[in-house]
Chain A
Amino acid sequence: MKKIFSIAVLFLLFTLGAHQANAQMCDSTAKLSAKYVVPPFVSDGQTYRALILSNQNAEFQATFFAGTTYRISAATGLTEGNLIFSVYSYDPNSGQRELIFSNSQHNNAPYWDFKVNTTVEVVIEATLNPASGKDSGCAVLLIGFKQ
């Protein structure tokens, strides 16, 4: 019984430590991403993040308004280029998606700007760069708009 209790305490300590370590890892990645959302870009006020495995995508929906230039800054870990992000247009009427951009086709750029001529619903997908050799990572995306 004493042994089981000791193991449980060990797991609890390990869990708390891992929880803290992951929160810090996500925070460090957020700081890395934030360095590209600087004037003239203003943060949209949200932080999008996820712990993803190598076979998973994180995705979210957004509306990009005509006449605005947006910046997406994306990272995982503390090294740039390890996160692949793709932006698709999304038609809510038909559910159809069309690829607008993927940083995998642009040297895995850590940030990219989008000059929007027509208002469009978009879906942004983020996945780990297979070449990074990482099995998991904290993916962080930030969005800013140009003043």
Chain B
Amino acid sequence: MRNLVQAGFVFTAALVMASCSGDPGPGDGADTLTKDTIDITGVKVSGQSFMVPSPMQIADLIKKSGAAYNKDILNPTANLSKYSDASKQALNLGVYGADLGYITMYDNSGDAMEYYKTVVQLGDQLKITGSFDKGLMDRFNANIGKKDSILTLVGEAYRRSDNFLRESEQDHLAALILTGGWIESIYFSLNVYKQKPDPAVAIRIGEQKNTVAGLIKVLKGLDKPENAELIRLLEELNLEYQKVEIKYTFAEPIHDDAKKTTTINGKTDVNITPELINSLTEKVNAVRNYIIN
């Protein structure tokens, strides 16, 4: 009887720990408790979590580059009816979220409402509750035209949906949303470079070298057969991305306690050629076409 009680407690403790540490996917689980370093929620790579650059942040960087607003580079909302399975819906929730971030950065209220409605519809189809709901829609309507407020609302809605999917053990959908969002934002960056070959934009594209490799590891770890084609296309993209050369040199940071701020210095050299950007464009277009069609 004593053994049974002990076994029960061990089982309970394992379940409780798994519930809070998030994804119980391959490579995680029971051994998590014995490791010095444990996983946390977020996209996981080799026992670590991995932050995918926020599409809104990339949109902000694009706007700062001086590129003009171009609706033609967005995924048309009319494509929504094409997405009938959960994987495509999640990927395109990421894509449309990136589109919405891009539109918001450029203060285009009309397009913002159109894309916001699309995002809400996809969230509804994926049964993501507490994120893209009527309350948020009301707040969105009330803040239309106020860029900062809308960006905050969108960022918060995506954070809540990420949280909801991980709590309901749907990490694979959370990972696909992040993948779709990242592909769309790198697609924007490549288009901006095509319009205006700015070295600063080229560097920003190159700096995301490690993101695609991380996404591949994540998607492979999820072990979902339906992701096979997506992974194949991402691997082709990664082969090109690995040709980008990055060299980082550390320098001491500067702390300002009064402002609770640390300034990160150092030096990062990124070597990316126009030819390499062309091949990256071709590969990114292939992944995006797979996602949006």
Binding site for B on A (CB under 8 A): 4, 7-8, 11, 14-15, 18-19, 22-23, 25-27, 30, 34, 38-40, 42-53, 55-69, 87, 89, 91-93, 96, 98, 100-101, 106, 109, 111-121, 123, 126, 138-139, 141-145, 147
Contacts and interface: CB of A to CB of B under 8 A. Distances in A.
Given A39-B152, A66-B268, A89 B250 contact: yes
A59 B16 contact: no
Contact of B12 (A14, A27, A64, A121): A14
Contacts of B166: 47
B42 to A, nearest CB: 4
B209 to A, nearest CB: 8
B48 A7 contact: no
Nearest to B254: A115
B40 A60 contact: yes
The 6 closest A-B pairs by CB, nearest first: A60-B49, A50-B40, A45-B158, A51-B20, A62-B51, A43-B155
Give the most central of A45, A106, A109: most B CB within 10 Å.
A45
B253 A101 contact: yes
Interface string B185-210: 00000000000000000011001101
Given A45-B155, A45-B159, A147 B60 contact: yes
B81 interface: no
A50 B21 contact: yes
Contacts, number: 225
Contact of A118 (B54, B158, B210, B267): B267
Given A23-B20, A30-B163, A61-B49, A117 B265 contact: yes
Given A23-B167, A45-B155, A119-B268, 20 more contacts: A14-B12, A15-B12, A25-B20, A30-B163, A34-B156, A45-B54, A45-B178, A46-B158, A47-B41, A48-B51, A49-B40, A51-B20, A59-B49, A63-B207, A63-B210, A63-B211, A65-B57, A101-B262, A112-B262, A138-B20
A57 B37 contact: yes
Contact of A50 (B8, B39, B167): B39
B136 to A, nearest CB: 13
Interface in B23-48: 33, 35-43, 45, 48
A19 B20 CA distance: 8
A15 B11 contact: yes
A11 B12 contact: yes
20 contacts: A19-B15, A19-B16, A22-B19, A40-B148, A47-B162, A48-B51, A50-B22, A56-B37, A58-B37, A60-B40, A63-B208, A63-B210, A92-B210, A92-B246, A93-B248, A106-B257, A113-B259, A114-B262, A115-B262, A118-B267
Contact of B268 (A47, A106, A120): A120
Interface residues of B, number: 77
B142 interface: no
Contacts of B264: 64, 89, 100, 114-118, 120
B261 interface: yes
B152 A118 contact: no
Nearest to B43: A46
B2 to A, nearest CB: 12
Contacts of B43: 46
B50 interface: yes
B78 interface: no
Given A60-B50, A65-B53, A23 B263 contact: no
A69 B261 CA distance: 9
Most chain B CB within 10 A, of A47, A91, A144, is at A47
A119 B247 CA distance: 11
